Amino acid sequence: MYASLLSRRSAFCTIVLLWPALLVPGGGMVGRAADVDAQLAAIAAAGPNGQGAQAASYAADMLSKCDAAILPRLLEAMDGDNPVAANFLRQAYERIVARELARANPTFNLEALRAYVVDTRHNGKARRLALDLVARLDPEFAPRFLAQALDDPEFRFQAVALALERAAASREAGDRQQERQELLVAFQHARAAEHVLQASRELAALGEEADPVRHLGFIVDWYVVGPFAAPGYSGFDTAFGPEQQPFAAEAAFADVDGSRRTWQRHRCTDPLGLVNLVEVFGPLREQVAYAYAEVESEQQQAAELRCGADDNLTVWLNGEQVFARRQWLNGIRLDRFIVPVQLVAGRNQLLVKVCQGPQHRDPEVPNNWSMQVRLCTPDGLGLKLKTILP
Amino acid sequence: MMGTSCCTISVVYASGARRCGLGGRPETECPPRCASGLLRWLLLFYVCGGWVACSVARAENWPGWRGPLRNGVSSEQGLPLRWGAEEGIAWKTALPGAGISNPIVWDELVVVTASDGYLQQDLHLIGLHISDGSERWHVRLWGTAPTLHHAYKSSMASPSPVTDGEAVYAFFGSGDLAAIDLQGRLLWHRALAAEYGAFENRFAASSSPLLFEDLVIVQCDHYGRSYLLAVDKHTGANRWKADRPECWLSWSSPTLVPVPGQSRWELLVCGSEKVEGYDPASGEKLWTFAGLARECVPTPVFGHGLAYVVSGPRGDTFAIRPGGHGDVTATHLAWSSDRGTPFVPSAILVGEEYYLIDDKGIGTCLDARTGEQRWRRRLLGPVTASPVAGDGKLYITDEEGTTLVLACGDSYRELARNKLGEPVYASAAISQGRLFLRAAGHLYCVAGRP
């Protein structure tokens, strides 16, 4: 059913789109539906290395002359994984919208636009684009939709932010029960670290425990061993003892100077699972350390290993190297690297190697040495795995 | 008023040679004479560029990062001296989102870039009428892979666009490179993050694209796989790509310098504790000069036959003779100085003086030929914008929006101190007798000569 905003003109154009015939009079006959197909195909063919740009640019011009009834079709054409084509389509979309909005009585297929926004199968950026227009035409839609989008892959962040705002409003109003409820909803659906931490902190103030570490799946219970001297940038390519033999808590390793290195238990207390190796081993340079963890999975399952380190890290899962990055001077950032992995049912062993490079020539630049590892679902929710370190 | 197209084309195609005309002090190493692409330019230069040198008081475009010569210096006269939030402002236009790219000017068109929206993924190119700041067109693109950025001092719109009068070439921190014609029509788009991997950058990329003949050159140094890329300005297709596997994060913009005594140009690229010279036509790496900071931001400038390369904080300025092969660290240094090196603002060379404005607002003036200090003093509050100069005036703007106007010369002389009343992080542009100041939320056109 079309919204009341749909005019006879747009209805005509939509009919034209549905039954191949004349498309749209937008200052004259622009083309037939088959022509629209051809223009969309030309844009879809645009891609890497400037490929198809000239034809896509022309096609975007042609499409921009169409009536606003074509907008849902342009949006659908934005689905997929072609950022170049999507941007050419956006040019046509923006011009049509601007032209239509400038008219005395703008006419849009509002229902089709709303339907596009709420359908999570569509391209997230294009859904936002459609939402911008819907919000202008129907100001009540966006807040209503966003409040319910707590599991929406594109709008989750805003939905959780709104839940946190509602919690704050309840707090202001002195309604502790409603505040607690809103915070629990926010925490449960939050995937962004800042939201998880905020909800956790505010729930704690209400006496409610909400553990960010468990929620996001950080591994915080480790054995660590080191340091192993690694002059310059040699650490990445040097296989020290811990990666040459299966883990044994009582194992001992000799550093190059004969020093004895043994595994020591380390449980980090950072709410985002940051293991600070400077705190463990001291402010060293040109060294390597290892960390080892065991987690239990109830079943075989796919997971995402999300990790980062300063300076760099190599990760083995159940004896197989699943990640290595020769990158120095990194700076640690949450979820910097995302690696699809398979967990086996039962015990899973993680070994992590973290290198520490030379000191910056400016002694005031901190020489950080740290790591951060978590196991989660593709949407970032932590897997509730049990630590089973010996 | 206009009639400047051909001369500005000459500037864009071969900016180094225009330096001869600009300073009024011809330098023997300037004019390249062999490269076929530059022959056309030479003709333009002598026919038009020379005319510009004589008539610069009328109009000069500001076609890209730091102006026609990529050094912050304008040849115009009659530039503004005093203004305030309400005084001396020809027009003021609200801008969307955030951006520290400098505005660019081509005849009647002023172009600014910005980004906003969720994750700063909406990219804007906005064309304004130079007469009143009204919008001529507004192009919106999606950024392919937005990165981390600084809350105030960066966004996806940190790199400045560049134009040759036929199209505007814009590069964004999301890894998107696009060409827009002067009517706001998207000509081509490259999603470099999709093709070569997302940029990994904690403050968002800020390297501004460079035009050389029919190439658009971008420097993509980041935590991931770094590279230099030259694409055909007409099609966006690769012409050459030079991988920089040993490089990590930097924000510096590449620049062109003429090689003394030779008819060719070199592309200077700063980053990862070195500056390197490349052949801009082929991407071949020619030489390396070591000693820069780990992460480089300022753009080198050229004059007196020397490339002035600075990186800080607590780094050095190196005055280097271009040319050579291999490691030229020990052989091509003219002088160095450890005074006043900034982290973010680029330095500026005006005549015999080389000025450094550091991030804390402390200014240092060095003798451009020897590196000897002329003066050093606190000027303003914290500074992010790079200084610009013209008409014998040096404009230095701090983060609060106060612009200090100094007289260019070997001694310190303050001419004016102008408060805009709005934070400024972007570098200014000079064109057609006006100063364009991009503040946090507005673009200001400061009126100059009548």
**The domain that contains B84 carries what CATH number?**
2.130.10.10
Nearest CA in chain B to A325: B224
Nearest to B186 among A49, A57, A158 (CB): A57
Residues of chain A that touch chain B, judged by Cβ-Cβ distance less than 8 Å: 46, 48-51, 53-54, 57, 60-61, 83-84, 86-88, 90-91, 94, 125, 128, 157-158, 327-331, 333, 336, 360-362
Are B322 and B334 a contacting pair, CB within 8 Å?
no
Between the alpha carbon of residue B236 and those of residues A43, A58, A81, B209, B215, the distances in Å are: 15, 15, 20, 13, 9
- pLDDT number for residue A1: 33
Residue A345 buriedness (CB in 10 A; 0-12 / 13-18 / 19+) = exposed
Residue B132 buriedness (CB in 10 A; 0-12 / 13-18 / 19+) = exposed
Q: Report chain A residues whose CB lies below 8 A from the CB of B187.
A: 53-54, 57
Nearest CA in chain A to B295: A329
Q: Which of residues 381-400 of B touch A (CB under 8 A)?
A: none
Query: ∠ CA(A79), CA(A85), CA(A86), 5° rounding?
Result: 50
- pLDDT number for residue B330: 97
Chain centroid to CA A357 = 29
Asked if B235 lies within 8 A of A54 by C-beta distance, the reply is yes
Nearest CA in chain B to A158: B118
- Residue environment code for A254-284, b if the CB has 16+ CB neighbours within 10 A, otherwise e: ebeeeeebebeebebeebbbbbbbeebbeeb
Q: Which two tokens stand for residue B321?
A: 């003779």
**Separation of alpha carbons A85 and B142, rounded Å:** 11
**Separation of alpha carbons B235 and B147, rounded Å:** 26
Asked if B140 lies within 8 A of A331 by C-beta distance, the reply is no
Asked if B235 lies within 8 A of A94 by C-beta distance, the reply is no
Asked if B148 lies within 8 A of A333 by C-beta distance, the reply is yes
Q: Band of the pLDDT at A361, cuts 50, 70, 90?
A: low
- pLDDT number for residue A256: 85
Nearest to B186 among A88, A125, A158 (CB): A88
Per 3-state DSSP, chain B is made up of helix, strand and coil in percentages (nearest 5) of 10, 40, 50
Q: Which two tokens stand for residue A139?
A: 């100001």
pLDDT tens for residues B88-121? Answer: 999 999 999 999 999 999 999 999 999 999 999 9
Residue A10 has pLDDT above 80, yes or no: no
Between the alpha carbon of residue B237 and those of residues A48, A252, B182, B229, B299, the distances in Å are: 8, 56, 20, 10, 26
Q: Report chain A residues whose CB lies below 8 A from the CB of B214.
A: none
Q: Report chain B residues whose CB lies below 8 A from the CB of A331.
A: 202, 223
**Separation of alpha carbons A55 and A41, rounded Å:** 10
pLDDT tens for residues A362-373? Answer: 677 778 899 999
Q: Report chain B residues whose CB lies below 8 A from the CB of A336.
A: 200
pLDDT tens for residues A39-70? Answer: 999 999 999 999 999 999 999 999 999 999 99
- pLDDT number for residue A282: 92
- pLDDT number for residue A4: 37
Q: Report chain A residues whose CB lies below 8 A from the CB of B248.
A: 327-329
**Does any CB of chain A come closer than 8 Å to the CB of residue B362?**
no
- pLDDT number for residue A390: 84
Residue A261 has pLDDT above 90, yes or no: yes
Substitution target in A51, A84, A154, A312 with the highest count of B β-carbons within 10 Å is A84
More confident residue, B225 or A74: A74
Give me the mean pLDDT over the A204-226 stretch: 97
Q: Report chain B residues whose CB lies below 8 A from the CB of A328.
A: 248
pLDDT tens for residues A130-144? Answer: 999 999 999 999 999
Give the length of chain A.
Answer: 390
- pLDDT number for residue B267: 98
Q: Report chain A residues whose CB lies below 8 A from the CB of B191.
A: 48, 83-84
**Does any CB of chain A come closer than 8 Å to the CB of residue B232?**
yes
Residue A252: name the closest of A243, A244, A263 by CA: A263
Distance from CA of A90 to the nearest CA of B (A): 7
Q: Report chain A residues whose CB lies below 8 A from the CB of B118.
A: 128, 157-158
Nearest to B294 among A84, A86, A360 (CB): A360
Asked if B186 lies within 8 A of A360 by C-beta distance, the reply is no
Give me the mean pLDDT over the A202-210 stretch: 97
Distance from CA of B387 to the nearest CA of A (A): 26
Q: Report chain A residues whose CB lies below 8 A from the CB of B202.
A: 331, 333
Report the number of distinct structural domains present in chain B. 1
Q: Report chain A residues whose CB lies below 8 A from the CB of B139.
A: 91, 94
Q: Band of the pLDDT at A2, cuts 50, 70, 90?
A: very low
What is the ipTM metric for this complex?
Answer: 0.89
Strand partners, B188: B179
- pLDDT number for residue B7: 32
Nearest CA in chain A to B141: A87
**Does any CB of chain A come closer than 8 Å to the CB of residue B246?**
no
Nearest to B238 among A46, A49, A328 (CB): A49
Q: Report chain B residues whose CB lies below 8 A from the CB of A94.
A: 139-140
Asked if B231 lies within 8 A of A50 by C-beta distance, the reply is yes
Nearest CA in chain A to B241: A49
Are A76 and A49 a contacting pair, CB within 8 Å?
no
Q: Band of the pLDDT at A330, cuts 50, 70, 90?
A: low
Are B104 and B163 a contacting pair, CB within 8 Å?
yes
Asked if A84 lies within 8 A of B121 by C-beta distance, the reply is no
Phi, psi of A225 (to 5 degrees): -145, 145
Residue B385: name the closest of B426, B419, B342, B437 by CA: B426
Pairing state of beta strands B285-290 and B326-327? parallel
pLDDT per residue, tens digit, chain B (450 aa), is: 333 333 332 333 333 333 222 222 223 333 332 333 433 443 333 333 333 333 334 579 999 999 999 999 999 999 999 999 999 999 999 999 999 999 999 999 999 999 999 999 999 999 999 999 999 999 999 999 988 888 788 899 999 999 999 999 999 999 999 999 999 999 999 999 999 999 988 888 999 999 999 999 999 999 889 999 999 999 999 999 999 998 989 999 999 999 988 889 999 999 999 999 999 999 999 999 999 998 999 999 999 999 999 998 889 999 999 999 999 999 999 999 999 999 999 999 999 999 999 999 999 999 999 999 999 999 999 999 999 999 999 999 999 999 999 999 999 999 999 999 999 999 999 999 999 999 999 999 999 865
**Does any CB of chain A come closer than 8 Å to the CB of residue B237?**
yes
User: Structural domain of residue B397, as residue ranges?
Assistant: 5-446
Nearest to A87 among B189, B235, B294 (CB): B189
Amino acid at position A210, single letter: A
Asked if A327 lies within 8 A of B248 by C-beta distance, the reply is yes
Residue B347: name the closest of B305, B291, B296 by CA: B296
Distance from CA of A19 to the nearest CA of B (A): 30
Residue A174 has pLDDT above 90, yes or no: yes
Nearest to A128 among B118, B189, B224 (CB): B118
pLDDT tens for residues A104-116? Answer: 999 999 999 999 9
Between the alpha carbon of residue B172 and those of residues B114, B179, B269, the distances in Å are: 9, 12, 18
